[in-house]
Amino acid sequence: MDNTLKISDNLIALARSTEEKIKPILNKINDIEEFNSMKVLSAFINNKISTEHFNGSTGYGYGDIGREAIENVYKDIFKAEKALVRSQFISGTHALTVALFALLRPNDTLLSITGTPYDTLHEVIGIKDNPSSLKSYGINYEEIDLINNDFDYEKIKEVITSQKIKVIEIQRSKGYSTRKSISIDKVKEVIKFIKNIDNEIIIMIDNCYCEFVTKIEPIEVGADIVVGSLIKNLGGGIAPNGGYIVGKETLVNLAAERLTVPGEGIEVGPTLGINKQILQGIFLAPSVVASALKTAVFTSKILEEKGYKVEPKYNEERVDIVQNIIFEDENKLIKYCEGIQNASPIDSFATPYPWDMPGYDDKVIMAAGCFTSGSSIELSCDGPLRYPYIAYQQGALTYQYGKIGVLKALSNIENNN
Ligand SMILES: *Cc1c(COP(=O)(O)O)cnc(C)c1O
């Protein structure tokens, strides 16, 4: 037993036997990591990345060759026409907001076909009143729920044939909901279905948490524009902030003009010295995502062995890096999050408390002892304080640290019972 971490010998033994059982799954993750590493390295080589690209710009940020190189690397990785990768995006939500405001005009209609979008988008869209929402500009919104964790094809057909839809949003990761995340195969099928009916509809993907989890990204299956955060998968735990938008050139240009200024668009935006971190982050991202996935698989199996409900199961195909543990018990959710916090490299001594976070409807408990504030590619665990008390755990910069964090969290539950 380690004197600081105080993880019992019984739990260590359970961890060993769990690891034996998940070995084939871990090997599959290695295979995906290798594939995506080749993809990233090829993008670096093809774009002749050099130390001169580490130099940043200030002020307007004209002629920042590092920024342009980063955007070309992202463009290649996603097989997109164009990429916008900027620290001026303050979060994934901001990147999604910029994309939505860039694509939609008064009287246009936005349709979500994955049910109600992520909590922080409610005020953006106007599902929850806000004087600056899309709705306040006269932009309509409709949503279609999933049925049995798949798209409601009949309803989609009905809606897109009876009225003109400008943008369809597909959120792959489940967010704070109980549905399953949407696989790339399902995305492919529904895009084909939609484009067959109306080829003009813009398909926008909320790709948060899904990058590098599989070998294929959404543009390869027909998506028009894809959006995500740099303090999740693609930042590799190194990028200090930012977001990305990739896709069709015309659409990415519209997003750039909304982010900066009409008429200046993608040409401006100082990088303020973070180019090296963005490049190093995307370089490490295939491995960091693999570590997060291994941690998720380990968590799923060991908590199942302990009798908890988990989603996904350890051997299910994964779409994102999020692991749910359905505690059905408020105290257990809180104790688990405390344990994750106490096994963090930063702020291990802090105690997470449920609080009213801006943008979220219920009180949320968040455990995160991260090098980058708010980073959720680092081991973090959170959950809204509502039945069935689900923990949403994601990340781990390395599998070993992830595993230790989970064992500490389990210890924290056991020591309090
Ligand atoms: C994390 C996330 C976002 C954006 O969150 P930020 O915290 O604003 O970066 C949006 N959609 C989904 C599905 C997410 O997981």
Which atom of ligand 1 lies at the shortest distance from residue 121's CA? 10
Residue with tokens 């040409």: 267
What pLDDT sits at residue 1? 59
Ligand 1 centre distance from Cα of residue 9 (Å)? 37
The structural architecture, per CATH, of the domain 39-281 is 3-Layer(aba) Sandwich (3.40)
Ligand 1 centre distance from Cα of residue 374 (Å)? 11
pLDDT of 118 strictly over 90: yes
Nearest CA owner, ligand 1 atom 8: 93
Bridge partner list, 83? 246
Report, as an integer, the average pLDDT of 83-102.
98
Which atom of ligand 1 lies at the shortest distance from residue 209's CA? 15
Dump pLDDT digits (tens) for 237-280.
999 999 999 999 999 999 999 999 999 999 999 999 999 999 99
The structural architecture, per CATH, of the domain 3-36+286-415 is Alpha-Beta Complex (3.90)
What pLDDT sits at residue 361? 77
Residue 147 DSSP label: B
Ligand 1 centre distance from Cα of residue 170 (Å)? 13
State whether residue 242 is helix, strand or coil: coil
Ligand 1 centre distance from Cα of residue 12 (Å)? 34
Ligand 1 centre distance from Cα of residue 85 (Å)? 16
Dump pLDDT digits (tens) for 98-116.
999 999 999 999 999 999 9
Dump pLDDT digits (tens) for 357-412.
876 778 999 999 999 999 999 999 999 999 999 999 999 999 999 999 999 999 99
Dump pLDDT digits (tens) for 277-297.
999 999 999 999 999 999 999
Nearest CA owner, ligand 1 atom 14: 208
* Confidence band of 225 (pLDDT split at 50, 70, 90): very high
Ligand 1 centre distance from Cα of residue 138 (Å)? 25
Nearest Cα neighbor of 342 from 390, 288, 240, 410 is 410
Between CA 391 and CA 403, with CA 397 as vertex, the angle to 5 degrees is 60
Report, as an integer, the average pLDDT of 337-352.
96
State whether residue 226 is helix, strand or coil: strand
Nearest CA owner, ligand 1 atom 6: 92
CATH 3.90.1150.60-classified regions of the chain: 3-36+286-415
pLDDT of 350 strictly over 80: yes
Q: Rounded to an integer, what distance in angstroms lies between the CA atom of residue 413 and that of residue 417?
A: 7
pLDDT of 176 strictly over 90: no
What pLDDT sits at residue 11? 96
**pTM here?**
0.96
Which atom of ligand 1 lies at the shortest distance from residue 231's CA? 9
Q: Does residue 336 contact residue 352 with C-beta atoms inside 8 Å?
A: no
Determine how many CB atoms are found less than 10 A away from the CB of residue 93.
Answer: 21
What pLDDT sits at residue 279? 98
State whether residue 194 is helix, strand or coil: helix
Which atom of ligand 1 lies at the shortest distance from residue 175's CA? 13
pLDDT of 84 strictly over 60: yes
* Residues of the chain above pLDDT 70, percent: 99
Report, as an integer, the average pLDDT of 210-231.
98
Q: Does residue 352 contact residue 337 with C-beta atoms inside 8 Å?
A: yes
Determine how many CB atoms are found less than 10 A away from the CB of residue 313.
Answer: 11
Q: Mean pLDDT over all residues of the chain?
A: 96
Which atom of ligand 1 lies at the shortest distance from residue 172's CA? 13
pLDDT of 210 strictly over 80: yes
Nearest CA owner, ligand 1 atom 2: 208
pLDDT of 417 strictly over 60: no
CATH 3.40.640.10-classified regions of the chain: 39-281
Q: Helices 184-197 and 153-162 sit at what angle, rounded to 10 degrees?
A: 30
The pocket around ligand 1, CB under 6 angstroms, is made up of 91-93, 118, 120, 171, 173, 175, 206, 208-209, 229
Ligand 1 centre distance from Cα of residue 211 (Å)? 13
